[in-house]
Amino acid sequence: MDLASLLRSTFGFPGFRENQEAVCRAVADGRDALLVMPTGAGKSICYQLPAVARGGPALVVSPLIALMDDQAARLKSHGLRTARIHSGLSREEARQACREYLEGSLQFLFIAPERLRVPGFPEMLARRTPSLIAVDEAHCISGWGHDFRPDYRTLGEWLPLLRPAPIIALTATATPRVQQDIVTQLRLLNPALFVHGFRRDNLALEIVEMSKPRRNGFIRDYLEAPETRPAIVYAPSRKAADELALELNARFPAAAYHAGLETPVRERVQRSFLAGQLEVVVATIAFGMGIDKANIRTVIHAALPGSVEAYYQEVGRAGRDGRSSRAILLHSYADRKMHESFFGRDYPPVEDLERVARVLPDEFQPPEDLWAKLRMDPDSFGRAVEKLAAQGAAAVDLEGRVRGLLRTADAGRWRSGYQAQMEHRRAQLDNMVAFAETAQCRMSALVRHFGEKPGSPCGHCDFCSPETVAAVPFEEPGPRETRQLRRILRTLQEGGPRSVGRLQTESGAEAERRAFDALLDGLARAGLVTMTTETWTNPEGREVTFRKAALTFEGRNWTDSEPLRVLLRTTGEGAASAPAPRKRKPAPATGVTCSGNGAEAAFTPAQTELENRLRAWRKAEAAAACKPAFFVLTDAALRGVVAAGPRSMAELISIHGIGPAKAERYGAAIVAMCRGDNR
């Protein structure tokens, strides 16, 4: 069949977009395929056109009701017969869809993955072989992805019943590891692999360190300009989304979107945004998958995302019409602490999972008696069951009943898998932090994460084009910053590459760590220094990442007589200037208040005592070395030590401002004081 003619006659498109035709031909010819293509690049046509060419019915697995309904409505607008089966429809509507599928009167049947848990449903589908099977948002099947859905695990088990239909898996975000896992989990047979275009040349990426109290004001002021809208703002919590949406709505049409809202409210917000009645949606990660709005001009992250994959998918919703758009990420060290608290909530200790696994029955049973027996709250029990299900050790039916799937002797299988999953989740956060701190072209760093060659710098991110930034502008360094920049270059020329912590000490920089990082950032933007992320194994055997600075060819050949053409962020947060001393607030009755990382934290009497001991020790160490006290430990790092109370080198090295060199030099003494060994 002439696919180009069918594309015009059925869908009204004059021709294929880049990379679409080869995918359509492979699937129309009956071959399995994996397609990784950016948001807005036209993935949907790569299963829709082959389905029409093969005569239908096509079976489409989709994770979100809103996405399913939107795609079905678009196909109906082209005169194609579609039906859906998901929890938002009545039982009779679902039965009618099944009848039409079996009769062959449908061209597309959309199903939610949890339907495969309904007894007899997969067997019903197998009574008629579909023309093809499309698995949308296929990264959801991988435990190594950013949006794993346990219900997707069942797909690989049931899809063989529907062969010889070809299977096409589609996603916009998949690292090489996730791509391989998709192929394995779906049991694709000799699939054609189409991995295209993570790079988005019309998208200007900007990343700014900014304390939480300043972010809402910046977002409000930035979006005041009409050309920055429509926009999506991603907030870290439901409460934060509600508060910011209310503040923005006083200036222009804005609304919140998150899972805590009633379904009709969420649907109304989405419809209004797509129709242009709302200009800004302030959302949690619950919003955006499959949103087909081409003219979004701005995506703002009001906090650090949990992974590079999530960040890429979310910023990809801007500029789908090909016009210039901007994505701004606001972050600080406090965001990492927030994600660590989320991790503690979402990934229960192995011991909790073991307790739950031991009481799971062989047959489905309501969970109420089980969590009562364990004296465990329902949320904790539910999270434990979810993690066990993700490892194939438990199952949940549509009524919420649970059962166990592994014998006690097989417990090691899920335990090792769960521990690997936790380590992977931690690594995702580490990668996101490293990306936010990268001193190179943002787009090049982003596409490299997905295994694609970075190519030339994008030319319009905040690293490539600092003069065009929207959040915190840049300026030429003053005399004090210039002296420090020259000292850094001379130190690297004399001693070669070294860790940032060691470089700060040996160059005699007069700035605290954040300001010193800004100096290195300026040198990297000027092409004189490169920054890399290295790994160090601490005495406990844990791998720790740190940043390392090295000179470029231009940096090695720079002489002290040459002018420095460097731009630094303006004075204030993120600037190269040392921050002005903060005024301490009066101590509350329960402890002492000190400020660090932009947040106020109350110290207990014991922590206050530890702080005083650390300050006395730091003063003595600095005097012995004839250096200022902050060369030994900055105030921010000292307060971080007091707040964390590290009991081992592994815990110490995780504190912001404690690099491998500082841990090697002072770690034993600091940990001993935290343990109370020196009292």
Domain 3-195 matches domain 473-569 at the CATH topology level = no
Helix/strand number for the chain, H first, E second: 27, 22
584 pLDDT band (50/70/90 cuts)? Answer: very low
The Cα 197–Cα 37 span in angstroms is 6
Omega into 57 within 30° of 0, i.e. cis?
yes
Ramachandran category for residue 253: left, alpha or beta (phi over 0 → left; psi -120 to 50 → alpha): beta
pLDDT of residue 288 exceeding 70, the answer is no
Question: Which residue reads 């690297």 in tokens?
Answer: 492
Q: Domain coordinates of the chain in residue numbers?
A: 3-195, 203-339+438-449, 347-428, 473-569, 592-675
Please state, as a whole number, how many other Cβ atoms lie within 10 Å of the Cβ of residue 225.
11
106 pLDDT band (50/70/90 cuts)? Answer: very high
Class of domain 347-428: mainly alpha
- Whether pTM > 0.75 for this model: the answer is no
pLDDT of residue 383 exceeding 70, the answer is yes
Which letter does DSSP use for residue 316 in this model? T
Q: Among residues 321, 307, 329, which one has the least CA distance to residue 230?
A: 321
SS (H, E, C) 582-630: CCCCCCCCCCEEEEECCEEEEECHHHHHHHHHHHHHHHHHHHHHCCCHH
What is the predicted pLDDT for the residue at 259? 82
What is the predicted pLDDT for the residue at 626? 61
203 pLDDT band (50/70/90 cuts)? Answer: very high
- Burial-class residue 648 by CB neighbours within 10 Å (0-12, 13-18, 19+): middle
Each residue's pLDDT tens digit, 495-553: 889 888 888 888 887 777 778 888 898 898 888 888 887 777 777 766 677 888 899 88
User: Residues near 515 by Cβ (< 8 Å), separated by ≥ 6?
Assistant: 575, 576, 577, 578, 579
**Which CATH code is given to the segment(s) 473-569?**
1.10.10.10
What is the predicted pLDDT for the residue at 585? 33
What is the predicted pLDDT for the residue at 600? 32
pLDDT of residue 318 exceeding 50, the answer is yes
Question: Which residue reads 């994505």 in tokens?
Answer: 327
- Burial-class residue 525 by CB neighbours within 10 Å (0-12, 13-18, 19+): buried
229 pLDDT band (50/70/90 cuts)? Answer: very high
Question: Yes or no: is domain 3-195 CATH 3.40.50.300?
Answer: yes
CATH architecture, domain defined by 203-339+438-449:
3-Layer(aba) Sandwich (3.40)
Out of 72-76, 289-293, 394-398, 534-538, the most confident range is: 72-76
User: Residues near 474 by Cβ (< 8 Å), separated by ≥ 6?
Assistant: 466, 467, 567, 568, 569, 570
Q: Say if residues 50 and 28 touch (Cβ distance below 8 Å).
A: yes
Each residue's pLDDT tens digit, 251-280: 999 999 988 888 789 889 988 998 999 999
The Cα 425–Cα 197 span in angstroms is 25
631 pLDDT band (50/70/90 cuts)? Answer: low
User: Residues near 470 by Cβ (< 8 Å), separated by ≥ 6?
Assistant: 206, 222, 326, 328
Question: Yes or no: is domain 592-675 CATH 1.10.150.80?
Answer: yes
